[in-house]
Amino acid sequence: MTDTTLRHDWTHEEVQALFDQPFNDLLFQAQSIHRQHFDPNSVQISSLLSIKTGACPEDCAYCPQSAKYDTELEPERLLPVEEVKQAALNAKRNGATRFCMGAAWRNPTDRNLERVIEMISVVKDLGMETCVTLGMLTREQTHRLKEAGLDYYNHNLDTSPEYYGEIITTRSYQDRLDTLRHVQEARINVCCGGIVGMGEGEEDRVELLRQLANLPKHPESVPINLLVQVENTPLYGTDALDPLDFVRTVAVARILMPKSAVRLSAGRSDMSDELQALCFHAGANSIFYGEKLLTTPNPKENQDLELFKRLGIRPQSVRHSETGQNAA
């Protein structure tokens, strides 16, 4: 069995060998490692709100919020702070411990950042962990977010460096890595993962996870998204990913990043209960909760609670590390 000490020097061949294991062996290894670091029957719940929707100048081929695609999505301005507060309160009542706010920007202006900082303060006053995804950040902006008490910043790599150009042309892979470096240097927890089922090959899923595991510090949260196909986006009509390949991706993520929260993110509305149960067995221990993820569907809260009951899973309460920074 692979050594579970934290590594940042994985080779492509080593990660490929994990994917190539018999399915039962892979899940046994992932579950064994998971139990070394987490309660196997506890799942952290996050809720996600789009605080500024649509009209994004990027050309991400999966995204209905891009201004380049006619998806009939109505652009919306930045939400009022009071509306964000009410959404966070509702999420907390429904069991969420972390409230994530997403804005469809290439990068925030300093003026917009000030408004987001106000939202962060309001949500933290409710006793919830905070996370934002705002696009690319400068070093100065990350320090301002740190001073505001932000717990997590989400910035996904999306896919492998080799396949990236097939998905996005308006932002480079290095741009993403630079923002992650700024966030980690500011000592803000990182939420970083990718999207599978975009027509990539297994070698791209291998390389995506290798890139994440070989960051200077493992992301505290690793969202694994399954492509949600939206009509009139370039990836609409892409062949569906084999569900067992999705489970393999979750399991390898758990093995490579033993202490990170591995989150089932977009695409859960298309997953059967049985597939989600396999993912939890493979080491997933976090979900997004609520009927919508930014602009795409998500299972209703009562569906998730019913599945948790059937599986004997408990929602995780907020935890804090010794340094005062919220844990994953």
In this prediction, residue 75 carries a pLDDT of 61
Note the pLDDT of residue 320: 38
* Selected catalytic residue, list 100, 192, 210, 279: 100
Q: Cα angle at 27 between 24 and 29, to 5 degrees? A: 110
Concerning whether 60 is annotated as a catalytic residue, the answer is yes
Q: Is 279 a catalytic residue?
A: no
Tell me the pLDDT tens digit for each residue of 251-304. 999 999 999 999 998 888 889 999 999 999 999 999 877 554 444 554 566 788
What pLDDT does 324 receive?
32
The two most distant CA atoms of the chain are separated, in Å, by: 52
Predicted local confidence at residue 301, as pLDDT: 60
Note down pLDDT in tens along the chain; length 328 residues. 444 478 999 999 999 999 999 999 999 999 999 999 999 999 988 888 888 776 687 888 888 877 667 666 666 678 889 999 988 988 888 778 889 898 878 788 888 899 999 999 999 999 999 999 998 899 999 999 999 999 999 999 999 999 999 999 988 999 999 999 999 999 999 999 999 999 999 999 999 999 999 999 999 999 999 999 888 888 999 999 999 999 999 999 999 999 999 999 888 888 999 999 999 999 999 987 755 444 455 456 678 888 889 999 988 764 433 223 333 3
Question: Residue 1: what pLDDT?
Answer: 42
Of 176, 205, 248, 263, which one is the catalytic site residue?
Answer: 263
Whether the Cβ atoms of residue 301 and residue 289 lie closer than 8 Å to each other: yes
Q: Is-catalytic flag, 63?
A: yes
Burial class (CB within 10 angstroms; exposed 0-12, middle 13-18, buried 19+) of 310:
exposed
d(CA 126, CA 262): 25
Residues β-bridged to residue 98? 46, 129
Residues 100, 154: contact at Cβ < 8 Å?
yes
Residues 6+ apart with CB under 8 A from 85: 122, 123, 126
pLDDT for position 317: 63
Cα R_g (the chain), whole angstroms? 18
Tell how far CA 71 is from the center of its chain: 23
Bridge partners, residue 99, by sequence: 47, 130
Catalytic member of 98, 115, 131, 210 = 131
| Residue 233 to residue 237: CA distance in whole angstroms | 9
Q: Is 191 a catalytic residue?
A: yes
Count of CB atoms within 10 A of residue 92's CB? 17
Q: Specify the pLDDT at position 94.
A: 79
Q: Which is nearest to 84 in space by CA: 135, 124, 137? A: 124
**Are 196 and 238 contacting, i.e. CB atoms less than 8 angstroms apart?**
no
| Catalytic pick among 98, 115, 171, 191 | 191
pTM score of the predicted model: 0.86
> For residues 126 and 149, what is the distance between their CA atoms, to the nearest angstrom?
13
